[in-house]
Chain A
Amino acid sequence: MGEVIVITSGKGGVGKTTTTANLGVGLALQGKKTVLIDTDIGLRNLDVVMGLENRIVYDLVDVVEGSCRVKQALIKDKRYDGLHLLPAAQTRDKNAVTPEQMEKLCDELKEEFDYVIIDCPAGIEQGFKNAIAGASRAFVVTTPEVSAVRDADRIIGLLEANDIRNPRLIVNRLRPDMVRRGDMMTIDDIIDILAIELIGVIPDDENIIVSTNRGEPAVADAKSAAGLAYRNITRRILGEDVPFVDLTAQENILTKMKKLFGFKPA
């Protein structure tokens, strides 16, 4: 029996879709049968981030309305064994799906898949309720900014009110240089405020934009710092005890030299 994890945030644009795509590819690379569901009806995006936009025939609404079978709507990612996408509908409104339908769908999918990862829309309305309905675990994504952390707090409260206990925190777009000069909250500051357990820290990384341009999630890119961070989260999902690297640690002269001469960091 698989696990259903919802990726939430409250505030939009903090990296839910990016995270869903990268964790999906990450889990598939670890040999897990994984399906990603885009629940952002009307603002479909996971398909382009994954590079699968040209292969959509059916969508989430078609499935819950019974216009097609689940299997027919799943897009198989040919690059990564075991990875599938169920795209959102683009021309329907959020109320086209109910929480009960989502719960039923998730129950069905977790019979077949090791992981069902749900990309949640921004906000706390119907779309959010749908996205969390079938999930037993949640990751809350935030950036180190006041408004994003505030909205994350609200989401944590709502998750708990809906019996999704112990949500885990992902801090995205950390800027080590800004943290070092005291112009960005540290990971400890954010944990102190939100009082939930951390599962990963993603640095702000140009590779995310480049990889999204190409439709190839950065997790598969050995040279990307964000990719490494997503690989670490993937291993933590699988139960491995992966230590957190301090991204804000001052580079010492040796690692700087090594970088300069093209050695890979240890």
Chain B
Amino acid sequence: MMDLLKLLTRKKENSKDVAKERLKLVLIHDRSTFSPQFLEMMKSEIIQVIRKYLDVEEELLDIQLTKTTSEDGERIVPALVANIPIRAMRSGNR
């Protein structure tokens, strides 16, 4: 009954709920932007791990933080994109 009443009297969503939703989304993005130093640190550790298994062209290696659309296609989300050219597989990996 209450719900029905609410439904009938409801005009628009409260503006404070809109504010909260928007804030939540913008903060997901804000909080995921790293500092350049942080990115450098992460990059060098990723390379170290990959090097154990693959012979990579380190000069051509490119790791970046960018944006992409989410799976449901409704939002822009951060993404880590890595382009790592491989020279050869290390032997003994099978």
Chain A contacts to B: CB under 8 angstroms: 145-146, 149-150, 153-154, 157, 179, 182-186, 189, 192-193
Name the residue on A nearest B35 (C-beta). A161
Bound: A179/B30 CA distance, A = 26
Q: Mark B25-55, 1 if CB is under 8 A from A, else 0.
A: 0110011000000000000000000000000
Q: Point out the residues of chain A lying under 8 angstroms from B16, CB to CB.
A: 179, 182-186, 189
The listed residue (A157, A183, A184, A185) touching B31 by CB distance below 8 A is A157
Categorize the interface residue count of chain B.
Answer: 10 to 19
**Known contacts A146-B22, A193-B20: does B14 contact A183 (CB below 8 Å)?**
yes
Q: How far is the CA of A145 from the CA of B31 in the complex (A)?
A: 18
**B19 beta carbon closer than 8 Å to chain A:** yes
B15 interfacial by beta-carbon distance below 8 Å: yes
Shortest beta-carbon distance from B30 to chain A in Å: 6
Per a CB cutoff under 8 Å, which of B14, B23, B24, B31 touches A182?
B14
- Per the bound structure, the CA–CA distance linking A176 and B20 in Å amounts to 17
**Which residue of B15, B23, B30 has the most chain A CB atoms within 10 A of its CB atom?**
B23
| Contact flag A153-B30 (CB < 8 Å), given A182-B14, A183-B14, A193-B24 | yes
Chain B min CB distance to A25 (Å): 33
Interface of B is mostly: helix
Q: Is there contact, CB below 8 Å, between A150 and B14?
A: no
Q: What's the Cα separation between A210 and B9 when bound, in Å?
A: 40
Number of A-B contacts (CB under 8 A): 34
Docked-complex contact B15 and A193, CB < 8 angstroms: no
Complex A-B: 10 CB contacts under 8 Å: A145-B19, A149-B23, A150-B27, A150-B30, A153-B31, A154-B30, A182-B15, A183-B15, A185-B16, A185-B19
B residues in contact (CB < 8 Å) with A: 14-17, 19-20, 22-24, 26-27, 30-31
Chain A residues near B24 (CB-CB < 8 A): 193
Could you tell me the distance between the alpha carbons of A145 and B15 in the complex, rounded to whole angstroms?
A: 11
| Chain A residues, Cβ within 8 Å of B19 | 145-146, 185
| Contact status B26-A150, CB under 8 Å | yes
A252 to B15, CA, bound (A): 26
Given contact pairs A157-B31, A183-B14, a sample of 12 additional A-B residue pairs in the complex whose CB atoms are under 8 Å apart: A145-B19, A146-B19, A146-B23, A149-B23, A150-B27, A150-B30, A153-B30, A153-B31, A182-B14, A183-B15, A193-B24, A193-B27
